Amino acid sequence: MKALRQLGGGFVIGVTSLLLVLGGISLSLAETSAPPIPPTPSPMPTSLVVEFASPFPFPTLPPVIFTDTPVLAPTATLALAPPAVCAVPSNWVPVTVGVNESLYSIAERYNTTVEELNEKNCLNLQNPLPGAVVYVPAVPTKVVIPCGPPAGWVKRHLVQPGENLFRIALSYGITYPQLQAGNCMGSSTTIFVGQTLWVPNVPTRTPTMTITVNLTTPTPTSTNTPDFSTPTNTATPTPDFSTPTNTPTPSITPFPSITPSP
């Protein structure tokens, strides 16, 4: 009997375990096949609004809606200087710059100045290149004496501060009119610092100081030499203030003379 009881209990336990396993499997299959149920939001508590009675009615304002507005950073604006405008007179005409021509020669030919020619053409005191077009007064041209650097000259002298035509010409052993003709300057003496001039291809001369020595023999002259010896006491005669006495005046006595006999 005891064995039967144990056998029956084991059978019951086995059936129960089998049922539990089958139930768990069925539950798991049901959860995977059914859609998930969304959670129900919990209701928010209602805020208590307290209204105060006011003797003055408040105006009803529309609700303010805040939006995110991007703030643009200020950008620096560079103000560019306007380009220089060259006011060319209406009576000026364009001409083409020739070889070896400069502002000086063009101004001399058309009876104007270097400063006016530079201002009206915005040349910044620079000689125009051959073939360039510049504006000049419409006047009859003068007969220009041919100018230009002679043979053997080179364009190498750079004008330094404080220099002038006379000083530059002297350093190269020429005259300043020759320097003017070699650089087509006409009668102008205006030069600019940094300008390159045509000069002879010779070494510059440095002015030297000439010292004149007088070789004449000096003539001795008498010189009063001061006496620095110690002075000695010298006896000084005392004047006599006594009363003078009467001194008899000598009388002249005639001497006998010799009478010759007859």
Where along the chain do its domains lie? Answer: 92-137, 153-200
Q: Please report, for residues 115, 150, 153, 168, 183, the alpha-carbon distance to residue 163 in angstroms, rounded to integers and kept in the order given.
A: 20, 22, 20, 7, 16
DSSP state of 202: S
Strand partners, 199: 154
Give the position of tokens 């060319």.
88
pLDDT at residue 262 in the model: 47
pLDDT at residue 147 in the model: 82
Encoded tokens for 262: 């007859």
Provide the 10 A C-beta neighbour count for residue 183: 27
pLDDT digits (tens, 9 = 90+) for 115-149: 888 888 988 878 888 899 999 998 655 555 678 89
pLDDT at residue 81 in the model: 47
For 237, phi then psi, to 5°, come to -65, 140
CA torsion angle 126 183 159 161 (round to 10)? -90
Q: CATH classification of 153-200 is 3.40.50.1820, yes or no?
A: no
| CATH annotation of 92-137 | 3.10.350.10
pLDDT in tens, the chain (262 residues): 677 777 777 888 888 888 888 888 877 777 666 555 666 666 665 555 555 555 555 556 666 666 665 556 555 555 454 455 677 888 899 999 988 888 888 988 888 888 888 888 988 878 888 899 999 998 655 555 678 899 999 999 999 999 999 999 999 999 999 999 999 888 888 899 999 999 999 877 665 555 555 656 556 555 565 565 555 555 555 555 555 555 555 555 555 555 555 4
**CB 108, CB 145: distance < 8 Å:** no
pLDDT at residue 188 in the model: 86
Instruction: Say how far apart CA 21 and CA 97 lie, in whole Å.
Output: 114
pLDDT at residue 82 in the model: 47
Same topology for domains 92-137 and 153-200, yes or no?
A: yes
